Amino acid sequence: MIWDAARDAQWVTAGAAPAGRPARAGVPAGASPPPIDSVAWQEEYQRLHRRSDRRGFVSATTLAHRLDASEAARAAEGAGDPGLAKQPRDLELPPWNKGRYGTAIGRAVHGTLQTVDLASGDGVAATVAAQAAAEGVLGHEETIEALTRAALGSPTIGRAAARPHWRETYVAVPFDGITLEGYVDLVFRDDDGLVIVDYKTDAVDADTRAARVVQYRIQAASYALAVAEATGEPVVRAVLCFLDPEGASDVTFEGPELEAAMAEVRGLLAAERDDPSPRLPSVPSDS
C-alpha cells in the first residue's frame, strides 16, 4: 500500500520494488528530496487530520444531549454566575430512580417491554425476574413490573399491540455526509402512518416534565426523521411514554410541531457534520 501510494511522488529513493510491483523508472541513483517546507507540511498535516477527525456518525441521544448542553451553557451565561448552572441533585427522587439503580432499572424495564406480549402481558413476571438478574438489581422486581405494567396500560401501547409493530429497532440513515443512528423502542403502523414510541422511566412531576420534554423532543424527532427516511413512509406521530409505578402518561408530537422538530434535527445534523473534532496539537518542525 505504501509503495502504491508513493510510486508517483516527485521524489523517491531508488531501490528494489516489492515483489509483483514495477520498478520506478527515471529516478537517479542516490537522489535526495529537496528540503521540506515546514509551514506547508504543517498545513497539510492539519488539513488531513481535520478531515479524518470529522464525525461520520451521530446518535439521536447525542443530538439531544448536545442541545441540552448548549442551552444549559446559555442559561449559565445569562445568569452571570456559572455556579448557578449546577445540575439538581436527586435527593427528592424516589429510591428506584436514583443513581445507577435508576439506570439499571430503566434498562430492565426496556428489556422486559422488548420481549413481553404487549397485548396480554403474558410472561411479565418471569421476564422481569430475568431482566432484574441481568441488570444486577435483584430485589427491585416489584418496581420493574409496576413500570412495565404502566406501559402496557398506556392507550398508545394498547393501540400498537393491535397493529403491525416492531420493537427495539435499529435505524441508521445518511444525511449529506453524516449518518444518524439510534434504537427506537417501538414503531407501529397506525391507520394514517407510522408512529414511534420512546419509553421514559425517569421520575418527573408536572413542574419538571416540561423541561424534560424540550430535550426529549429532539431525540424523538431524530427517531421520526430517521425512520421516515429509511422506510419512505411518513411518521405522523412521535410519542414519549413516561412511566411511573402509578401509571403511564403520554406526550405526543404531531403535525406542524413534529415537522418543526424534525427540521431542527436536520439543522443539528448539519452543524455536527460541519464541526470537526478539535485539532490535534501542532507537531514541531523537527519531529
* CATH assignment of the domain containing 187: 3.90.320.10
pLDDT of residue 61: 86
Q: Is residue 139 situated within a structural domain?
A: yes
Q: Is residue 269 situated within a structural domain?
A: yes
Q: Is residue 262 situated within a structural domain?
A: yes
The mean per-residue pLDDT over the stretch 56-70 comes to 78
Q: Is residue 157 situated within a structural domain?
A: yes
pLDDT 10s digits, 153-186: 999 999 999 999 999 999 999 988 889 999 999 9
Q: Is residue 201 situated within a structural domain?
A: yes
The mean per-residue pLDDT over the stretch 255-284 comes to 76
Q: Is residue 49 situated within a structural domain?
A: no
> Contact at 8 Å (CB) between 187 and 133?
no
Domain coverage including residue 253: 57-70+94-274
Q: Is residue 75 situated within a structural domain?
A: no
Residues 6+ positions from 170 with CB-CB distance below 8 Å: 181, 182, 183, 184
Q: Is residue 192 situated within a structural domain?
A: yes
CA distance 114 to 119: 13
pTM: 0.69
Q: Which residue has the higher pLDDT, 79 or 200?
A: 200
Structural domain count, the chain: 1
Can you say whether residue 90 is alpha, beta or left, with left for phi > 0 and alpha for psi between -120 and 50 degrees? Answer: alpha
CA distance 184 to 111: 13
